[in-house]
Amino acid sequence: MGEAAVLDALGDDTRRSILELLRKEPAAVGVLAERLPVSRPAVSQHLLVLKRAGLVSESSVGTRRIYRIERQGFAALRDYLERFWATTLDNFAALATAESEADTTE
């Protein structure tokens, strides 16, 4: 999935809370719903968005579906943020060089 889907998925407080819970350990929908102030169907809908964004994956254990963080799904987010970080560092270096050159010409 692309970075837009990842950013959209992360734009919701409940989905971020689900990711925080899954960061600690894989869990079934029911377990997540018990720990959140939303219904089980709502948790399922949020998990679907996270899954489509590539941030979580699911596996079947008996009749339960267990969700877990999908580390590769965060690569798009990391790449997106690193582009900003690289640009920021480049801009800082250019500013520092310009100020240094201004100081030496005064």
pLDDT at position 100: 76
Q: State the total domains in the chain.
A: 1
More confident residue, 7 or 67: 67
The CATH code of the domain that includes 76 is 1.10.10.10
pLDDT at position 74: 86
Neighbours of 15 (CB within 10 A): 21
What's the domain range around 81?
A: 3-105
**pLDDT class for 106, splitting at 50, 70, 90?**
low
pLDDT digit string (tens) for 10-22?
Answer: 999 999 999 999 9
Is 0.75 surpassed by the pTM of this model? yes
pLDDT digit string (tens) for 30-88?
Answer: 999 999 999 999 999 999 999 999 999 999 989 999 999 998 888 888 888 888 777 77
Q: What is the mean pLDDT of residues 92-97?
A: 76
Question: Quick one: CA dihedral 10, 12, 15, 19, positive or negative?
Answer: positive
User: What is the distance between the alpha carbons of residues 30 and 15, in angstroms, rounded to a whole number?
Assistant: 15
User: What is the distance between the alpha carbons of residues 19 and 13, in angstroms, rounded to a whole number?
Assistant: 10
